[in-house]
Amino acid sequence: MVDPHDMNRTIEIALVAALAALLSAFALTQSGCYGPDFAEGLPCSPTMGCPEGQMCFSDGRCYSEDPGDNTPAVTTLASLEISLGTLEPAFDPAVTEYTVDLGLRAPELGITATPLASEGVELAIASASATPGEASAQPLLFGPQSIAITVTNIADESTTYTITADRGAAMAFTSYIKASNAEAGDLFGMGDSNIACLDNPCRPIAISGDTIAVGAPGEAGGLGGINGAENNNNEPGAGAVYVFVRGSDGSWSQQAYIKPARIDPDDNFGTSVALDGDTLVVGAPNEDSIATTIDGSDSDNNATDAGAAFVFVRSGAEWTQQAYLKPFNTDAGDRFGYSVAVSGETVAVGAPREASAGRGINQPVEDDDTASSAGAAYVFVRNGASWSQQAYIKASNADQGDQFHQVFLVGETLVVGAPQEGSGSTGVNGDPNNNDVPGAGAAYLFERNGVAWTQTNYFKASNPADGAIGTFGGQISFAGDLLVVGRPLETSAGAGINGDQTDTSGGEHVGAAYAFRNDGGTWAQEAYVKPSNSKSGAAQAYFGAQIALLQNLAVISGPQERSDGQGIGAEETNQRAGASGALYLFHNRDGAWSQESYIKTPNSETSDRSGIGLALGSDGTLVISSGDDSSATGVNASQQDQLDNSAIDSGAVFIIE
């Protein structure tokens, strides 16, 4: 007789075994490992097996025997990887839409896609054929950009996955840089002086690749040359330049402390700097030597504020002075070197107070000083290690007080701003020969063919104004077919893009910028750009004092902006921190402009004038300077040291990536 307890025990064991089998089958199904009795043609991969009795073939499907070449392969991906950032959501073959937020320093995104099928499919990334399992580098503009990854089989069936990469959405402050010998009044990254570089902007910082140069025209070190003693303050206002380099780990360190071979008080070496690869050009607009041309004697200081420019070159990590540049017509007060630019083997230098009445290219001077502060630009070229002057450039309508000098050089194109030019014309190539609007300002574009320079275009604001509210051409930036001209003393209260230019309720010095586009050889104004807070925090902001362009990104500063916010996306509408300064980031796509970001430095305070210096690297690294007052030294000082305001106008540089 069977014991009922034994029978119940047997039934329990059988039920448990059956339940375990069901759970196992369910788990296998959920993990992609199929049990028996499944239809053929199911997707498979090295990590996702097939039902019993079937094999995974190169078309990415399961069969009991080779189906031949006529069965369409599966069009899903087995994996999708990117070189920067993190996909959101995490990759799942069944999910086709992804996003990734990136910093500014993201010129391209590597995408690696591997289809489930190893044969019978074609892979395309951004409409171009791609190799499965190999990275495809996709260039990125700033802002959101969708990139399609498509798998197509022989039956023309396809699956498209989309990655929307937003370059700049994850930008952040990464470094805080001070001079190694920071002291009050050094003006590290600030230019000639607080006001001079606002009314007539200078360029005190520059970036090229992984190198930054920062001028400190108020620095007082008394020893000339490279990497001399830093704490000898015997020459007030002599000036210095500091070079910083970025290591493979992304951190910055000071590489050089640069002074000219001869130094004198108040030369203001470092008022302007320009950098291209291993060539550094530094302006000293208050240098007093009466020397002329290249490498003349600098011992005779009988030409007060004549100005000079210096060329330094780097070999490995070592910097040396290569040339001492003076114009052929040196004269006291010309302030040669207030603006400098370099592109390859060519250097341009501006002299805002040059007084010749000549007009055009390489016109004879004959000691003609009848047009006070008309201004001039000089072009120098290098052959090997030797420099020579190639061109002496005056505006086609040069006149007294125009201050033609603000130089920007890219390849064979030179743009020069004349912030006090007085023509009343508007737009491009209008009548330059009237002085109906004194101080309105202008910009001029020159092209080089061989060794000959020619003026090709003449730019004016769409709303010229007189005297103290002009300065169009005070700052310029040029890239490809786009030119943006700053006018930091403009008065309109219009906000945003193409606002009301006639609304002058904003008061003096709100500022504006004007974008011009070259379409097939014809230039025209594309946008009138104002800060988003023109009627509040940006009153008297000097918007347009600094401008930098890269691809579809324009960065424009307002160093006198008043909001007390701090960081990226700070509150911008109050006026509780006068002259704290701000930056505005704009995108332009197919002629459509929009403001995307509003930026304050992390330790922004009253009178910091953030954005008094601005530079933008080719990889998107953004460098800004301010009149920071901390006594901190070196890179990334402690938060406590950053807030120590015991060194007024010592200056600082911030990196955003």
- When pLDDT is cut at 50, 70 and 90, the band that residue 46 belongs to is low
Torsion sign over Cα 236, 278, 405, 300: positive
Cis peptide before 89 (omega within 30 of 0): yes
Residue 14 has pLDDT above 70, yes or no: no
The pair phi, psi for residue 603, each rounded to 5°, is: -115, 30
Q: Element (H or E) spanning 376, and its range?
A: strand 376-383
Per DSSP (E only), the strands in 86-172 are: 97-102, 108-115, 121-125, 128-129, 136-139, 143-153, 158-167
Contact 61, 69 (CB under 8 A): no
Q: Which residues contact 368 (CB under 8 A, 6 or more apart)?
A: 355, 356, 357, 358
At 69 the pLDDT is 61
Residue of 260, 264, 276, 369 lying closest to 325 (CA atoms): 260
Per-residue pLDDT tens over the stretch 195-230: 556 767 889 999 999 999 999 999 999 889 999 988
At 301 the pLDDT is 94
pTM of the model: 0.89
Residue of 271, 426, 276 lying closest to 351 (CA atoms): 271
Contact 653, 625 (CB under 8 A): yes
DSSP 412-449: TEEEEEETT------EES---S--SSTT-BEEEEEEEE
Per the DSSP assignment, residues forming a β-bridge with 529 are 497, 513
Q: Strand, coil or helix: what is 24? A: helix
Contact 554, 583 (CB under 8 A): no
Contact 203, 280 (CB under 8 A): no
Mean pLDDT of 468-493: 89
Other beta carbons within 10 Å of 519: 10
Q: Which CATH number fits domain 77-167: 1.10.10, 3.40.1010, 2.60.40, 2.30.30?
A: 2.60.40
**Amino acid identity, residue 221?**
G
Report which of residues 638 and 180 the model is more confident about.
180
Using CA atoms, how far apart are residues 616 and 623, in angstroms rounded to an integer?
6
Per DSSP (E only), the strands in 520-609 are: 522-529, 546-550, 553-558, 567-568, 582-589, 592-600
At 70 the pLDDT is 59
The residue with tokens 């094999």 is 55
Other beta carbons within 10 Å of 119: 12
Other beta carbons within 10 Å of 333: 18
Instruction: Give the N- to C-terminal CA distance of the chain in Å, as an integer.
Output: 85
Residue 307 has pLDDT above 80, yes or no: yes
Q: How far is CA 235 from CA 174, 213, 623, in A?
A: 34, 21, 28
Mean pLDDT of 339-359: 96
At 469 the pLDDT is 58
The region of weakest confidence among 47-51, 101-105, 361-365, 648-652 is: 47-51
Tokens of 609: 């004038």
Mean pLDDT of 254-264: 95
Tokens of 180: 């190694």
**Amino acid identity, residue 489?**
L
Q: How far is CA 208 from CA 35, 202, 259, 623, in A?
A: 61, 18, 20, 11
pLDDT, the chain, mean: 89
Torsion sign over Cα 566, 569, 575, 580: positive
Using CA atoms, how far apart are residues 387 and 69, in angstroms rounded to an integer?
68
- When pLDDT is cut at 50, 70 and 90, the band that residue 37 belongs to is low
State the Rg of the chain over Cα: 32
Other beta carbons within 10 Å of 648: 15
Other beta carbons within 10 Å of 578: 16
At 15 the pLDDT is 39
Tokens of 58: 């190169």
**Cα-Cα-Cα-Cα dihedral of 227, 232, 236, 238, to 10°?**
-20
**Amino acid identity, residue 306?**
A
Contact 62, 42 (CB under 8 A): yes
Percentage of the chain lying above the pLDDT 90 cut: 73
Contact 324, 308 (CB under 8 A): yes
At 23 the pLDDT is 36
At 50 the pLDDT is 84
At 19 the pLDDT is 37
At 33 the pLDDT is 45
Q: Which residues contact 80 (CB under 8 A, 6 or more apart)?
A: 87, 91, 98, 111, 112, 113, 114, 149, 161, 163
Percentage of the chain lying above the pLDDT 70 cut: 89
Per the DSSP assignment, residues forming a β-bridge with 593 are 588
Residue 6 has pLDDT above 80, yes or no: no
**Cα-Cα-Cα-Cα dihedral of 519, 522, 527, 528, to 10°?**
160
At 281 the pLDDT is 98
Per-residue pLDDT tens over the stretch 588-618: 988 899 999 999 999 999 999 999 999 999 9
Using CA atoms, how far apart are residues 306 and 387, in angstroms rounded to an integer?
20
Checking DSSP bridges between strand 158-167 and strand 77-82, what pairing results, if any?
A: unpaired
Locate the domains of the chain by residue range.
Answer: 4-63, 77-167, 480-626
At 118 the pLDDT is 86
Tokens of 88: 């959101």
Residue 338 has pLDDT above 80, yes or no: yes
The residue with tokens 């800060």 is 531
Using CA atoms, how far apart are residues 611 and 269, in angstroms rounded to an integer?
20
Q: Strand, coil or helix: what is 342? A: strand
Q: Highest mean pLDDT: which of 184-193, 214-223, 567-576? A: 214-223
Per DSSP (E only), the strands in 29-83 are: 55-56, 62-63, 77-82
Per-residue pLDDT tens over the stretch 518-550: 999 999 999 999 998 886 656 678 999 999 999
Residue of 382, 409, 96 lying closest to 274 (CA atoms): 409
Torsion sign over Cα 117, 122, 125, 129: positive
